Each structure stands twice: as structure tokens, then as C-alpha cells.
Structure 1
């Protein structure tokens, strides 16, 4: 039997709540939206580029966002040592190179990075600041990270929507 990305039930975003509830809800909503765009597709479909000359794929987006989660929440904010599964100094864009990628394993990496991101911020204030590890040493607060991650997912979910439509005609949501 051919492996396919699992179906998901997306939790609706909160319409009312305090700031933390709202930013966490919107971030989780966008995380789930990316998975929704992958649901029901085979590994081969997830590795299929959108349209030439672009090499952008749904699986590449999943891999990229796993590393973005690790970069902002764990390495920068929580100051954890992160062993990136794709990024290397020699190939910083390896997350998008899905030629020989294992889609099932890569989705598991994504889920794990989301769990680790949640763990890195539990009980921490949105006002808590940190200085980025590299390249510029700018100072941010956790609130900025949440807002940036919502923006990053929203942008890439637009890409994902177009890729999914190109693959099998599925649109929306």
C-alpha cells in the first residue's frame, strides 16, 4: 500500500481571547493549514515541484518550516543546541532539496519540531527578549517571534495552496 500524508482536522482559530490565546491559536491554525495542504497526497506528490522553473514542493515547505520553528523558538529564543536535519553550512537550502526525501519521516520531524517549539515557550512571557544568535545580533521579544511565524506560515501556505491546486485541483481551506 502506498503511504499518504494523514488527514487532519484543523482546529478553528479563536475569535475572542487574550493576546497569548490569539497568537498561539493563529500560529497553530497556520501550522495545521500547511498539513491540510499535504493531507491525502502520496510521497511522490509531496515531492512534485509546482511548475517549472520553480523547484518548490509541499514537502520542501514542510521541511523548511520545521527548521524555521527550530531556528526561532529553540535556537534563538530558548538558546538550545539544535541539530538541523537538513541545513548545513555547505547547503543552507537543503530543506528544499527533496529529491531523495522520506516524506513520512519529514512529516514526523515537522511534528516533533512543533512539539519542541511549544515546550520552549511554555510559561514564558511574550515580553521576554533575546538577541538572535546570528547573523546580525538583533534583539527581539517572544511576541515578535509569534507574529513572524504567523506571517511566515501564511506566506508559505499561499504557496502551498497553489502547489496543491496544481497537483490535484484541490483549492481553499
Structure 2
């Protein structure tokens, strides 16, 4: 039986490193955009069934779909909640259920990727509109004291780490591997 393939509504982002002589903002956003593009690459051609397949017995929520959802909500948390001071809503703030943002059974991968893309575009708009020295505004979270520069560096690390997880999960799901 042939597996249904994911149809991206938009073209996946290009996997391009920022220029060697880029200014600080261009370099930070460029490296983050490249890690985001790698996330897309690791999802290319996966069926929804495979995207939701659990392959790590000790971490059953670490699926391709779960990781994409988590990355979407991490971007929301750092840039909308902590930096802009918007309300702390969403699955990652569920005090009753740990890792709620990974729980996406039945949600198509294409939808998760679209939501992630929308969040990334909003993050880039937020970054473009503020100084890298501006600090977060949410009064209830200690991490909001970080400046935008720190948050971007953290997000490059966070996205790169989870892109590595996606690399391993994808190989375990269907043997897909590679680095461009």
C-alpha cells in the first residue's frame, strides 16, 4: 500500500547560510531561518502516519509531528509571550499535562508545518521591528529579562537541537538521512 505524501501549500524555505560578512541581525535571523528550513527538509515526503509514528520507546511523544508542533509553540513563547508580554496561552502553559505541545495525534503534518511557518514569519516581523538590545516585557517569567539578541541565539540553539532530533527520528521512521 502506498503511503499518502504530504503536500506543502507553500514551497519549503531555502537552506542557505547567511553571508560571511552579514551584520549581526542578518546573521542571527539567517542562521535561524536555515535551521527552520532544515526542519522542513526533514519532513519532506513523510506521510501523516509516519510523521506521527513513535520510534523512541522512552520518549513516545518525540515524533516528527510532535517536534514541529513543539518548535511552533517555542517560537510563540519566546517572542510573543516573553518578549512582547502577550498572555501566556497555549499548550506549553498547561500545568496539568507535561509536554502538551508535543501531543498532536490526528493533526496533519502539512497543517503543523503551515502553523510553524506562520509563527516563524511573525517572529521575523517582531525581530525586524525591535532593537536587539530590547528586553522582554512579560512580568511573570524570569526569562523575559533576556534581550532580543539572547532570545535569537537561544532559538538558533533550540531549533538546531530539535532539527538534530528530527534527523534521528526521520532515519528511524523510514531510513531517510542526509545533510545538505
| 1:13 aligned to which of 17, 24, 31 | 17
Query: Is the contact made by 1:5 and 1:42 (CA closer than 8 Å) also made in structure 2?
Result: no
Structure 1 residue aligned with 2:66: 60
- Distance, in Å, in 2 between the alignment partners of 1:136 and 1:128 is 15
Structure 2 residue aligned with 1:74: 80
Q: Which runs of 5+ in 1 are unaligned?
A: none
- Distance, in Å, in 1 between the alignment partners of 2:38 and 2:151 is 19
Distance 1:116 1:92, change over 3 A: farther
**Does 1:44 find its partner at 2:49?**
yes
- Distance, in Å, in 2 between the alignment partners of 1:96 and 1:127 is 32
Query: Is the contact made by 1:5 and 1:38 (CA closer than 8 Å) also made in structure 2?
Result: no
SS in 2 for 1:120: helix
- Distance, in Å, in 2 between the alignment partners of 1:64 and 1:85 is 9
**Does 1:109 find its partner at 2:115?**
yes
Query: Is the contact made by 2:5 and 2:45 (CA closer than 8 Å) also made in structure 1?
Result: no
Distance 1:9 1:127, change over 3 A: closer
Structure 1 residue aligned with 2:4: 2
CA RMSD of aligned residues (A): 2.2
- Distance, in Å, in 2 between the alignment partners of 1:23 and 1:90 is 35
SS in 2 for 1:129: coil
1:90 positional shift: 2.5
TM-score under structure 1 normalisation?
A: 0.88
Structure 2 residue aligned with 1:147: 153
Q: Which runs of 5+ in 2 are unaligned?
A: none
Distance 1:138 1:123, change over 3 A: closer
Distance 1:133 1:13, change over 3 A: farther
